[in-house]
Amino acid sequence: MNKEIILEDLGSRDYKEIWDYQEKLFKKILDLKIRNRREELELRTPNYLLFVEHPHVYTLGKSGDVSNLLISEDQLKAKKATFYKINRGGDITYHGPGQIVGYPILDLENFFTDIHKYLRLLEETIILTLQDYNIKSERSPGETGVWLDVGTPFARKICAMGVRASRWVTMHGFAFNVNANLGYFDNIVPCGIKEKAVTSLNVELGQAKVDENEVKQKILTHFSNLFMAEIIKSDV
């Protein structure tokens, strides 16, 4: 089993460009697994973790309801935002500047074969990262992601998640609001969940801006510990 994960920090990149790149890496791993089984080989399958920030974009999962996008095509253009229907689970979400998006493209057969456990470890990665900032966060029953003040009128989501998996290979991932412009969430029903708010780390800390590189390092520490993996930084 290969427990090395190649980290690529891609900076600010267009959503469709990175979606296509994810699909390329995803297919590369799948093709290798198929070859291993067909030819009875034991070639190591690679694992990746992509960090990226996207320009303003709304994405709708395959089980989502397009009516949860509350603005027209013209209004999208006015806000310099784009919209895509995509192949992950979940409903609608927003990506934009000030948000750390993580796309783990893993062969889970290198780690464990349990999608439920995989999602819980992604959530735990963010929960532990927030704990480093003395913020208590948790899961909300039946609502994937990371939340604050669950079970109160002040419940709010700080990290959304949605994944796709095939033959135990994953893609898509999490979107962690660190310095996000929360006004863009007003244009959707986030994750299809009505009457619940969203928040961002800088808002919770009462800071104008949080050091995103510092947050990424904390995420990597917890991610590697939880998955018992070695992170290998790429020069991309």
159 counts as catalytic: no
Is 160 annotated in a binding site? The answer is: yes
Is 95 annotated in a binding site? The answer is: yes
Structure tokens at 159: 């990290």
Is 90 annotated in a binding site? The answer is: yes
Is 13 annotated in a binding site? The answer is: no
Is 180 annotated in a binding site? The answer is: no
Q: Phi and psi of 203, rounded to 5°?
A: -65, -45
- At 64, the amino acid letter reads G
Is 173 annotated in a binding site? The answer is: yes
Closest CA to 24 of 226, 169, 151, 159: 169
Is 132 annotated in a binding site? The answer is: no
Q: Is the dihedral of CA 232, 233, 235, 236 positive or negative?
A: positive
Closest CA to 8 of 55, 51, 53, 54: 51
Is 115 annotated in a binding site? The answer is: no
Alpha-carbon span 32 to 165, nearest angstrom = 16
Among 191, 198, 215, 229, the one annotated catalytic: 191
Is 89 annotated in a binding site? The answer is: yes
For residues 215 and 100, is the Cβ–Cβ distance under 8 A? yes
Is 162 annotated in a binding site? The answer is: yes
For residues 64 and 53, is the Cβ–Cβ distance under 8 A? no
Binding residues for substrate: 88-95, 160-162, 173-175
Active-site residue numbers? 191
